[in-house]
Chain A
Amino acid sequence: MTAAEVASPSSGRGGAFASILSIGTLLLIGILAFSIRLFSVIKYESVIHEFDPYFNYRVTQYLSKAGIYEFWNWFDDRTWYPLGRVIGGTVYPGLTLTAGTMWWVANALNIPLSVETACVFTAPVFSAFAAWSTYALTKEVKGIGAGLTAAALIAMVPSYISRSVAGSYDNEGVAIFALVFTFYLYLKTLNTGSLFYATLNALAYFYMVCSWGGYTFIINLIPMHVLLCIVTGRYSSRLYIAYSPLVILGTLLAALVPVVGFNAVMTSEHFASFLVFVILQVVAIVYYTKRILTPKAFRVAVAVVLTVGTIVALTLIAVLIALVATSPTKGWSGRSLSLLDPTYASKYIPIIASVSEHQPPTWPSYFMDINILAFLVPAGVIACFLPLSDSSTFVVLYLVTAVYFSGVMVRLMLVFAPAACIMSGIALSEAFGTLTLSVKYQIELPDPPTGPVAPVDQTAAGATSETSASATAADLAKDKSVSEKGKETLRERPKRSRKKEKESAEKSVVKKAPKKKASKVLPFEASAVAIVLLLLLVSFYVIHCVWAAAEAYSAPSIVLTSHTADGMHVFDDFREAYAWLSHNTEENDKVASWWDYGYQTTAMANRTVIVDNNTWNNTHIATVGMAMSSPERQAWEIYQTLDVKYVFVIFGGLVGYPSDDINKFLWMVRIGGGVFPHIKEADYLRDGQYRIDAQATPTMLNSLMYKLSYYRFAEATMDGKGYDRVRRTEIGKKSFKLTHFEEVFTTHHWMVRIYKLKPPKNRFRGKNKRRTKPMITDRRNEDPPYLWLTTLYRSVEVKCYLAKVPFGDVDGRQLESFWRHKYRN
């Protein structure tokens, strides 16, 4: 019995109606997925969010302007100055091409859409697609009901929302769709054994490779599954058809993507797939010979093949090891290594560790991001084992690996979310199926059921009932597939009143369901309570998701807001600063900042930057880190060699914006120190503590970052003490002057402070000390003239003196000489 059989949908009466209903539900799920992500547009504005999306936006702009070939060959000279960056060859083009195509299609249809709008709404559109492909995937595993539930769950899972709100124009937005869709097609191929789907699968995989570096997850997960099937004796021709063409076509297609290129066959991440490919060929031959030979002859064949095969396998492994050993990182890229060994990044690559989304997640973030799904997943896993099919093993394997990866890197929670949704969808669907079935039987046959199992909680109910039902799962399948739809509509009721009338119609469908297996049902009361509890749980999930979408994940981070007693404050300093740069600097001026702001500077201010968020060159970033950590003069020299004209820092001390450069400063020191050993982290810490108050080390107080952040800060604060509202302390060094930098612009809330490098001095000064004081200071430092005059007026001698000299002609020098004269005598 395979999942395909289980899943064969709506073959009974009312099948047509059921399919229309499910299509309608899917449509609504799609709308839900799209609209729940629009909070950011409603609350803020239609704007690109954060950092990376700005780069993607800029690339899309270029694509829409210059065309695909120019984009493919784009050498960007406005970033990573003076190295430049080959954008066409280092970017995953999937997202850009998708949005570009959407924009182009819209314009071809005479819908005047700006590129920005297309970019902003790409992720929401694709989350609807992702929901639909989740439906298809889960349908392959456990039928339509589970599919619809899973689709509804993923439509609003916070983890996915966090990456795909309108404006969050990043690879993940389309990649999750591609990931789920690839998995779906793999399972579809596995269930049908059709080469057509195998081809589609390879193409979907190609799209995934285009979209996101996470494609390596697919190319490792699928081989793992194949291997699992082989080991557990589940090999079939369908498995062969599902996997072999995928490897060949997929590898070739992946190699077509410039950023992957030969990596598709050269790096260790892909080796597993080739190894499994070879194993699969061997297994296929073995099964084939087994079928055409008598058992005795087969045994002989096995003996022969084993001896030959071992030798071949050993040599292959030796070759592989040799290949891997020749590459410096053993063929693994840093990010992948940090996946396998969670401590790798923090030990060796500060630049990876410095990104917060590369850190391991905390437990609360699981609750925040997947909420109740975390509790439903185990039940779903149990349901997947009953019965175990090729596709359900795959889903379980996906879940297990995704759980591990999400535990390593918070960013990969995103990969985990679909798995969790699928599992929870299965669990919920099974539970509802059993419970509603019970209720229905109780209504129709009022006799008390025999040997019921009282559910303690809903998951246990789902699991236990499923256990008893397993033997007759096939018979029940039809009932379920129909009744699950009822549950699905019920579930959606709190959200959409529109469905009410549909539901009444739907109940008639339920009534037509065959009545049998009364022994498997639960007591009516227990079922009813469990249904209510489940509904409560689900509505809690819905509320949480809406809250997360509306409050937690909609902030674009380029515009900040804060709520205080006297209303909402908007901090639009970033755009203010970028606008200043674009209007007040020369087109080819180079702007230095920490790399976080590189993408935004190139996209919004259109100025050349030294480093940006594509952290491909550690040395270059370290150079900027070193400059920021150095004293003013050295920093000036470093920037001078890089032809930098302007430097800006993000400073939150005045308004209390915590993710400013001073808080990131230790990473600059670490990254700088990683390449330039004279920058030592210990020099910036007082007894291991990072502080900027009077106790801070001189190195810290003299660093460029400190100076640029706190220049004139004490004057600006009300009491003149320089109280930093982020660090909650008074700053250490309050009044100082900048000799090599001059402040040219500081935004309204002081969040961005732009400095210009002063040109080299026109003259070299000699060594002698200055003798004459400048005239202006001369007057200021000594007693001011009016003091002289008042003193003079009061003295009798002066009156006599003034009698000789007309008062109007009295100037400072005469008075001075008089004064001297008077005191000498």
Chain B
Amino acid sequence: MASSTRSQALLLLVVLLPALVAAFSEDNPTDQRVLVLLEDLALKSSHSIFFKSLSSRGYELDFKLADDTKLALQRYGEYLYDALILFAPSVEGHLGGNLDVAAILDFVDSGHDLILAADTHTSDLIRDIATECGVDFDEDTEAVVIDHINFAIEGESDHSLIIGDKLVESDVILGKGGVKDPVLFRGIGHSVNPASDLVVTVLSASPSAFSAPPNAVLKSPPALTGTSISLVSLVQARNNARILVSGSLDLFSDKFFKSSVQKFGSSSRSGSGNEKLAVELSKWTFHERGHLKAVNVNHHKVGEKDEPSMYRITDNLEYSLEIYEWTGKAWKPYQADDVQVQFYMMSPYVLKTLDHNGKGLFYTSFQVPDVYGVFQFKVEYRRLGYTSLTLSKQIPVRPFRHNEYERFIKAAYPYYGGAFSMMTGFFIFGIVFLYHK
């Protein structure tokens, strides 16, 4: 009787345990507290759909005016927020509470996320933040992106309300199925540093677009033209902090979300893709998707369990690790066929693609090369939209010990025979020599 109660309690505990762990888990990459800085509180209502979608997904939004003097990102060295939405394109000098470029960048460098929207009038502050993240807005402060072909007929005659042309092809960033409907955009264009592998352009302009002051006679060719104009870009810093930079604040507005779009020269009207794009991008930026973690890195000799402190050349070893992806609520096993491990010493001696069992376990086995030295197991996994996994584990590889070389080689038997015959010869000789006469 007693035992059955105990077992029931145990059962209950076993059932509850995952739930408890999940509840107390600090390993939850999704942001919780978001500071929204607005230049005008009217934005709160004009962009209400976007904010509502955020708060419905469980974010605590803290709306503040950008020049609120009591602004503070951190208190007692602890950050008060996990993410920052900066919808204040024209705020000059610095934000309220003496938040300047450096403060925002420190916020990012300590692993927090940022959504940054510019607009037709963008202050140097916003431009500098963007530049520091690898996104260069057109330096002409008057310029906006104009497209005389791919514009929406709902816009003004300067053709500054354009339709984004090309979206990045990535389910991780844009969600399943991507954004099918045209995306409305009114704002400034930017270019991304091509040397940077941290920036990815999500939405770029069409080949006919250019960046120039509207209704002005151009004296020189515009700095940015065609598809090289990025409209919306994402940055993932080395510490996996994510930054969304949009050249248009209106892109997030209720008006654009609800607007129907008719492209110039096309007779059909459709709903805009802005809502989907904005929501999906915010999901990505706040780590609801594409966040990987690698745990339980393990290596050992074939047939053994424990991790050795050192391998010997030509040992056979097994290497495994577990990779999980965050779904916004739970870690689920990651599945990919392109995770590779390097056995590395100044250059990769072994490069193997890891097999996986569908439950997040990636494994492989290989033979240690016939070279000794201090090697590293290196996993460098960088895929578009995913956080980058960089693991390295140092392990020395030693040469054979003196007694590990091959012994009693067949070919050497005559030599052994020679040596031993000399020894017996010596004994016989000694006896004969001693007892002779």
Binding site for B on A (CB under 8 A): 72-73, 75, 77, 81-84, 86, 88-89, 258, 588, 608, 641-642, 760-768, 770-772, 774-775
- B346 contacts chain A at the CB level, 8 A cutoff: yes
Of A72, A88, A760, A766, chain B has the most CB atoms within 10 Å of the CB of A766
Does the CB pair B127–A771 fall under 8 Å? Answer: yes
Q: Which of A81, A258, A771 contacts B374 (CB 8 A)?
A: A81
Q: How far is the CB of B259 from chain A (nearest CB, A)?
A: 31
Chain B residues in 8 Å Cβ range of A641: 346
Chain B residues in 8 Å Cβ range of A774: 100-102
- B181 contacts chain A at the CB level, 8 A cutoff: no
From known contacts A77-B310, A82-B345, A763-B235, infer whether A770 and B399 are also in contact, taking CB-CB under 8 Å. Answer: no
Does the CB pair A763–B101 fall under 8 Å? Answer: no
From known contacts A82-B374, A772-B124, A772-B125, infer whether A764 and B100 are also in contact, taking CB-CB under 8 Å. Answer: no
Of A771, A772, A774, chain B has the most CB atoms within 10 Å of the CB of A772
* Minimal Cβ-Cβ distance residue in A for B111: A762
- B132 contacts chain A at the CB level, 8 A cutoff: yes
Chain B residues in 8 Å Cβ range of A642: 346
Of B105, B134, B376, chain A has the most CB atoms within 10 Å of the CB of B134
Does the CB pair A588–B394 fall under 8 Å? Answer: yes
Q: How far is the CB of B85 from chain A (nearest CB, A)?
A: 19
Does the CB pair A766–B135 fall under 8 Å? Answer: yes
From known contacts A75-B396, A766-B130, infer whether A772 and B93 are also in contact, taking CB-CB under 8 Å. Answer: yes
Does the CB pair B396–A77 fall under 8 Å? Answer: yes
From known contacts A762-B109, A763-B133, A772-B128, infer whether A86 and B199 are also in contact, taking CB-CB under 8 Å. Answer: no
Does the CB pair A763–B132 fall under 8 Å? Answer: yes
Does the CB pair B128–A763 fall under 8 Å? Answer: no
* Minimal Cβ-Cβ distance residue in B for A761: B238
Does the CB pair B375–A768 fall under 8 Å? Answer: no
How far is B401's CA from A89's CA once the two chains are assembled, in angstroms?
10
- B137 contacts chain A at the CB level, 8 A cutoff: yes
From known contacts A77-B310, A772-B124, A774-B102, infer whether A764 and B131 are also in contact, taking CB-CB under 8 Å. Answer: no
How far is B135's CA from A258's CA once the two chains are assembled, in angstroms?
60
- B62 contacts chain A at the CB level, 8 A cutoff: no
- B276 contacts chain A at the CB level, 8 A cutoff: no
Chain B residues in 8 Å Cβ range of A775: 94, 98, 100, 102
Chain A residues in 8 Å Cβ range of B134: 763-766
8 other A-B residue contacts (CB within 8 Å) besides A86-B372, A760-B238, A766-B193: A77-B310, A83-B374, A763-B134, A766-B132, A770-B128, A772-B128, A775-B98, A775-B102
Chain A residues in 8 Å Cβ range of B105: 763
Tell me how many residues of B have a C-beta within 8 Å of chain A: 49
Chain B contacts with A in 260-275, Cβ cutoff 8 A: none
- B43 contacts chain A at the CB level, 8 A cutoff: no
Does the CB pair B124–A764 fall under 8 Å? Answer: no
Does the CB pair A73–B100 fall under 8 Å? Answer: no
* Minimal Cβ-Cβ distance residue in A for B132: A765
Does the CB pair B375–A82 fall under 8 Å? Answer: yes
Q: How far is the CB of A810 from chain B (nearest CB, A)?
A: 16
Describe A's contact surface by its main secondary structure. Answer: loop
How far is B239's CA from A727's CA once the two chains are assembled, in angstroms?
45
Does the CB pair B131–A763 fall under 8 Å? Answer: no
Provide a sorted-by-A list of 18 A–B residue pairs whose CB atoms are within 8 angstroms. Answer: A73-B401, A75-B398, A77-B398, A81-B374, A82-B346, A82-B373, A84-B372, A641-B346, A763-B198, A764-B134, A764-B195, A764-B196, A765-B134, A766-B193, A771-B124, A771-B128, A772-B100, A775-B100
- B329 contacts chain A at the CB level, 8 A cutoff: no
How far is B128's CA from A379's CA once the two chains are assembled, in angstroms?
87
One digit per residue, 1 when the CB lies within 8 angstroms of any chain A CB and 0 when it does not, for chain B 86-129 equals 00000001100010111001001100000000000000110110
- B237 contacts chain A at the CB level, 8 A cutoff: yes
Of A258, A608, A642, A774, chain B has the most CB atoms within 10 Å of the CB of A774
Chain A residues in 8 Å Cβ range of B375: 82
Does the CB pair A768–B127 fall under 8 Å? Answer: yes
Q: How far is the CB of B25 from chain A (nearest CB, A)?
A: 26
How far is B132's CA from A762's CA once the two chains are assembled, in angstroms?
10
Chain B residues in 8 Å Cβ range of A772: 93-94, 100-101, 124-125, 128
Chain B contacts with A in 227-241, Cβ cutoff 8 A: 235, 237-239, 241
Q: Which of B102, B125, B238 contacts A763 (CB 8 A)?
A: B238
Chain B residues in 8 Å Cβ range of A768: 127, 131, 136-137, 139
- B219 contacts chain A at the CB level, 8 A cutoff: no
Q: Which of B131, B133, B137, B374 contacts A84 (CB 8 A)?
A: B374
From known contacts A768-B127, A768-B137, A771-B128, infer whether A84 and B238 are also in contact, taking CB-CB under 8 Å. Answer: no
* Minimal Cβ-Cβ distance residue in B for A73: B401
How far is B130's CA from A771's CA once the two chains are assembled, in angstroms?
12
- B402 contacts chain A at the CB level, 8 A cutoff: yes
From known contacts A762-B237, A766-B132, A775-B94, infer whether A75 and B372 are also in contact, taking CB-CB under 8 Å. Answer: yes
Chain B residues in 8 Å Cβ range of A83: 345, 373-374
* Minimal Cβ-Cβ distance residue in A for B197: A764
Of A88, A641, A760, A771, chain B has the most CB atoms within 10 Å of the CB of A771
* Minimal Cβ-Cβ distance residue in A for B240: A762
How far is B132's CA from A270's CA once the two chains are assembled, in angstroms?
67
Chain A residues in 8 Å Cβ range of B195: 764
* Minimal Cβ-Cβ distance residue in A for B129: A772
* Minimal Cβ-Cβ distance residue in B for A767: B136
How far is B102's CA from A770's CA once the two chains are assembled, in angstroms?
12
How far is B399's CA from A83's CA once the two chains are assembled, in angstroms?
11
From known contacts A82-B373, A772-B124, infer whether A762 and B238 are also in contact, taking CB-CB under 8 Å. Answer: yes
Chain A residues in 8 Å Cβ range of B397: 84
Chain A residues in 8 Å Cβ range of B398: 73, 75, 77, 84, 86
From known contacts A86-B372, A766-B133, A772-B128, infer whether A72 and B238 are also in contact, taking CB-CB under 8 Å. Answer: no
From known contacts A588-B394, A774-B100, infer whether A764 and B198 are also in contact, taking CB-CB under 8 Å. Answer: yes
How far is B128's CA from A588's CA once the two chains are assembled, in angstroms?
39
How far is B376's CA from A89's CA once the two chains are assembled, in angstroms?
24
* Minimal Cβ-Cβ distance residue in A for B134: A764
Does the CB pair A763–B373 fall under 8 Å? Answer: no
Q: How far is the CB of A768 from chain B (nearest CB, A)?
A: 4
Of B102, B108, B196, B374, chain A has the most CB atoms within 10 Å of the CB of B374
How far is B399's CA from A258's CA once the two chains are assembled, in angstroms?
14
Chain B contacts with A in 175-204, Cβ cutoff 8 A: 192-193, 195-199
Chain A residues in 8 Å Cβ range of B101: 772, 774
Q: How far is the CB of B75 from chain A (nearest CB, A)?
A: 20
